[in-house]
Amino acid sequence: MSAQESRNNAVAAKKDADELINFMQYDLSDTLGTVGRLDMMGAINARIRKYHEDHPPEAGHLDALREQAVSLGQQGDILRDEGRLGPALKSYRDSLAIFEKLAKQDPGNAGWQRDLSVSYNKVGDVQSAQGDLAGALKSYRDSLAIFEKLAKQDPDSAGWQRDLSVSYNKVGDVQSAQGDLAGAVKSSRDSLAIRQKLAKQDPGNAGCQRDLSVSYNKVGDVQSAQGDLAGALKSYRDSLAIFEKLAKQDPGNAGWRRDLSVSYNKVGDLQSAQGDLAGALKSYRDSLAIRQKLAKQDPGNASWQRDLSVSYNKVGDVQSAQGDLAGALKSYRDSLAIFEKLAKQDPGNADWQADLAFSYWRTGTRMAGSDPQSKKDARTMVEKGRDILRELKTRTGLTRQQQQWLDSIEADLQKW
């Protein structure tokens, strides 16, 4: 075989390998993500990154460099879903560094500008979960600035408009957590306006319908925080109607089933606030049934484990309000067991630490009411919750809701 033939064969083999890697990185990973198989996604991502390490991009081969950044971002997604926020943030920052380099080399490449914006959002997601709201807001606004520019350059692009709506929602989430409800209202409604338009333009597009449903939920969250319970319940029901339709159309889509469970909970929250305890319990149990199935399907998915724990707490709240103290205590203990495991798994996850504090408070309070002989142990449990929130307040600061929890816990302890 001549040297030229050897080179040609090597080039052909590299091309075949690249095509296989691209299939694994996009098509196969997307399919596994839909059914919620983090274990397999992690193994595939490790193989992809190993390939990139063994075959580093040649000088000037920018598309290959982009693929390396994508694989790092996917690694971050998997680590985030496993609850490993520190390593996830590192992967996202490594990916971001590459996307910044690419965007700087070719500022006119809209695709690379979008990659950069998405990367800022992923970094912001982890910062938010770690309690770094100021850092998250900066990352989200860096992303928003790019998407506003792209959407302005091509107003007819549904993709750019959709991306812009995502950024508005992320900024709004942080504004709400910081107590800036006026800012959050504007951001969530800016997003909703875009999504209503996109869903109207393409009624058969399931992705557009899901986006619209998420926006209804975001608007409902702010309405609820402002005390507009009737308006919030309408928004949540509008969202629920869409998610029920989507989940029915594709029962195997784990993401849509998870979305449906969130909507059931939000409706239940408003029903509970309005005194409809029977309705709230049904909504919460509908959500719980979905989450039990998802958590059993992929026990390594920490996000789904957290969802399950939240659902146990919500069921317990209604049981407690209805006077079913034994049932409530069992639900709270089921929730606490999960939160203890998650908080131990990643002590740096501020959200999970706050969840654990809340669960200690709920479980301890109900324990004291159900069994007076356990009052001492119950107080110790509530104090654990208080101490976690105090430490978080010093380390990262508290969200508006977490500060409310701390205030309530300290008030409860004074009455003990």
Angle (nearest 5°) at CA 126 between 73 and 352: 130
- pLDDT, average across residues 315-343: 96
Predicted confidence (pLDDT) per residue in 197-256, tens digit? 999 999 999 999 999 999 999 999 999 999 999 999 999 999 999 999 999 999 999 999
Query: Does the pLDDT of residue 8 top 80, yes or no?
Result: no
What was the pLDDT predicted at 384?
97
Q: What average pLDDT is seen over the chain?
A: 87
What was the pLDDT predicted at 12?
44
Q: Could you give the C-alpha distances from 133 to 86, 177, 390, in angstroms and in order?
A: 16, 8, 17
Query: Does the pLDDT of residue 127 top 90, yes or no?
Result: yes
pLDDT tier for residue 389 given thresholds of 50, 70 and 90: very high
Of how many residues is the chain composed? 416
- pLDDT, average across residues 273-289: 97
How far apart, in whole angstroms, are the C-alpha atoms of residue 26 and residue 199? 26
- pLDDT, average across residues 7-12: 45
Predicted confidence (pLDDT) per residue in 77-97, tens digit? 888 888 788 999 999 999 999
How far apart, in whole angstroms, are the C-alpha atoms of residue 242 and residue 387? 41
What was the pLDDT predicted at 145?
97
Q: Are the C-beta atoms of residues 77 and 302 closer than 8 Å to each other?
A: no
How far apart, in whole angstroms, are the C-alpha atoms of residue 333 and residue 321? 17
Q: Which residues of 353-372 are buried (b: 16+ CB within 10 A; e: fewer)?
A: bbbbbbbbbbbbbbbbeeee
Predicted confidence (pLDDT) per residue in 20-47, tens digit? 444 444 444 444 444 455 555 555 656 6
What was the pLDDT predicted at 40?
56
How far apart, in whole angstroms, are the C-alpha atoms of residue 399 and residue 247? 32
Within 8 A by CB and 6+ apart from 389, the residues are 354, 357, 398, 402, 405, 406, 409
Predicted confidence (pLDDT) per residue in 53-71, tens digit? 555 665 556 777 888 888 8
DSSP 27: I
Query: Does the pLDDT of residue 344 top 70, yes or no?
Result: yes
- Percent of the chain past pLDDT 90, that is, above it, reads 72
What was the pLDDT predicted at 370?
79
- Flag the least confident range among 109-113, 206-210, 368-372: 368-372
- Residue 258 C-beta-side C-alpha neighbours within 13 Å: 19
What was the pLDDT predicted at 53?
59
- pLDDT, average across residues 119-124: 97
What was the pLDDT predicted at 1?
55
